[in-house]
A and B are shown apart, each in its own frame.
Chain A
Amino acid sequence: MPAFSLVRFTSRGLGRRPVRTTLTIIGLAALILTYVSVQSLVSTLEINVSGSVSSLGGEIDVWSKGTSFPLFSRVPVSYVNTVQIIPGVDLAAPVALAQMTVDNNQAVIAGVVPSELPRMLTYTMVAGTMITSNQSGILAIGKALATTVGKSSGQTLLLDGHNYSIVGVYQTNAWIDYSLIIPHSVAQELIGWVNQTSMIVVTTKDPRTVDTVIGQIRTLLPTADAFRTSEAPSKISPIFASLEAIGTDITIIVSLSAVLGITNSNLNNLRERMRTFAIFKATGASSSQIIRLVLYESLLIGILGTLLGLGISYVVLNIISIPVAETINVAIILVPSTFIYATLLAISVSLTAAIYPALRISRVRPQEVFRFG
């Protein structure tokens, strides 16, 4: 039986039941919206937060032991001197991180020792200069945050209720563009820390000695954890593993509900059309042709539901932004593979929900239907 004829039959059958067809399509669209939303939220958080922990420069990070995110880490500043004297270490720089109010926005501030900044971070100045002294009341602002708060070099802004002059606007093309940099000592004062910092960024004289240096730091500082900077995102992986597991659970629950709902709808739909299928069988349709007919019908519904769902998801997620760990509002990142998986999911759900009804209707006995209705 040519596929085109089947599709024509199918669309005719669906068109005769507009309410049921529309509800099934909307159900599939809702499934896609749920899947795309959950996956995109997880992806957005993962990309942004992973980026934030891996873009502070250096070769080795030293955090307090058991911490999964640098904002939660706290180590004594004295550790800097301990690390600095380890053979092979070129730089050991303290970085104080905290979330604060910048004008009316929330942002993460990074307190660094100005003289050590060029060795830690690769940046370009968009306007003005980078902070070069421990002077209080000055800061450099990332380009993205400057755009958000509408400020530029030479202007002032309110940081935690105090006026600060912006000496320059920098760009790194990383998370820190949504942040601002102040002298480390000033950050300690603002946060209220005495002799403490968030983390230590370490560079070595010879990259081949990184593992040796890490080993020595671990030995010398039992309450701290040292690891390659590139491994920082894996420190937060348990958080994302949990998020992904929750996302997967939600997808499974919603998909199963959709399969059961659509199966029930298909069964009722086919039961109403039992006579039609009995006629098909009596006039020579084979069981496999009837199965194909039902599956084509489901496929058509799946495609329509997918198109609607993808369209709605694209529009909805493009106008939504979420506050990520840096507390800036980030537009949801739409990963193309999420849309591909969503399409596969919706089509699979649609076809799965058609298998049992298709098998049942393919076994229709015309003589019984014609006699007993």
Chain B
Amino acid sequence: MDDAAILRTEGLTKTYGKGSGKTVALDNVNLKITRGKLLAVYGPSGSGKTTLLFLLGGLDKPTSGRIYFEGVEVSNMSERRLSKLRRNSFGFVFQNYNLVDELTVLENVMLTMIFEGKPDAERKDRAKELLRRVGITGKERRRPSQLSAGEQQRVAVARSVANRPELVFMDEPTGNLDQENSQQLMRMVADMVQGEGATCVVATHNLEVVNEAPSKVFLKSGRIVSS
């Protein structure tokens, strides 16, 4: 086992549909993600970036191939163990933020900690601290829809690291943001992820993000073209 690799895949393949309607989203992807670094996964639309992230994050099951997280195979894990992994070891940031509008900003950040069963005071303190770090102060009681796009994405970033995950997956985090907000967000992500000691995998179109990432993977038609 490679100690530096927090996550690795072997022949990861994902297909949708059957027969003539079959679509290969990922084709025999072999990948190693180094602990503590930011990995940028880039490529054109439909290249399989989001599919790869969902598979790595345990949100989807591969058609074939294997995924190992810290040496343990996750691709055949039960749903119960996967949910624990998503709760404790993984964090997610989505292009559309995916904040729950029924909940306040503070509650959104507390969400994973609530599912983990952490005490109310602890999760409140942690959520407030994270919101302060992403620059959302005084808006804790607001609904996500009352925030700007940039603010919503910062709340999503705060939520993703709330349970101190080892891996944070970001799917086009700057996709809905202008250049200034994108830069701000990525600086903040770098600080947060580094500060929390997490490894980050970002699927993006944004070449600035790609250029600043210490390691990168280019996907095309579901295959790794360069890394």
Contacts and interface: CB of A to CB of B under 8 A. Distances in A.
A321 interface: no
B190 to A, nearest CB: 22
A278 B111 CA distance: 13
B22 interface: no
A286 B84 contact: yes
A284 B98 contact: no
Q: How large is the interface on B (under 10, 10 to 19, 20 to 34, 35 or more residues)?
A: 20 to 34
Nearest to B98: A279
A2 interface: yes
Interface string A285-319: 11111000000000000000000000000000000
Contact of A283 (B80, B92, B102): B92
A240 interface: no
Main secondary structure of the interface of B (DSSP, over half): helix
Given A12-B103, A282-B59, A287 B80 contact: yes
B163 A284 contact: yes
Interface string A345-371: 000000000000000000001110011
Contacts of B79: 286-287
A32 to B, nearest CB: 29
A275 interface: yes
Contact of A275 (B84, B98, B111, B159): B98
B112 A283 contact: yes
B87 A284 contact: yes
B115 A289 contact: yes
Given A1-B117, A366-B59, A284 B80 contact: no
A281 B100 CA distance: 12
Contacts of A285: 83, 87, 115
Nearest to A285: B115
A287 B115 CA distance: 11
B38 to A, nearest CB: 21
Contact of A286 (B80, B98, B114, B159): B80
A1 B83 CA distance: 13
B86 A282 contact: yes
A282 B80 CA distance: 13
B212 interface: no
Contacts of A273: 102
B88 interface: yes
Nearest to A279: B98
A286 B96 CA distance: 22
B50 interface: yes
Nearest to A13: B102
Interface of B: 50, 54, 59-60, 79-80, 83-84, 86-88, 92, 94, 96, 98-100, 102-103, 111-112, 114-117, 120, 159, 163
22 contacts: A1-B114, A1-B115, A2-B117, A4-B120, A5-B120, A12-B103, A276-B102, A279-B111, A282-B86, A282-B92, A283-B92, A283-B115, A284-B83, A284-B84, A284-B87, A284-B115, A286-B79, A287-B83, A288-B80, A365-B60, A366-B59, A367-B59
Given A4-B120, A5-B114, A273-B102, 20 more contacts: A12-B103, A275-B98, A276-B100, A278-B98, A279-B99, A279-B100, A280-B100, A280-B111, A281-B86, A282-B59, A282-B86, A283-B115, A284-B88, A285-B83, A285-B87, A285-B115, A365-B60, A366-B59, A370-B96, A370-B98
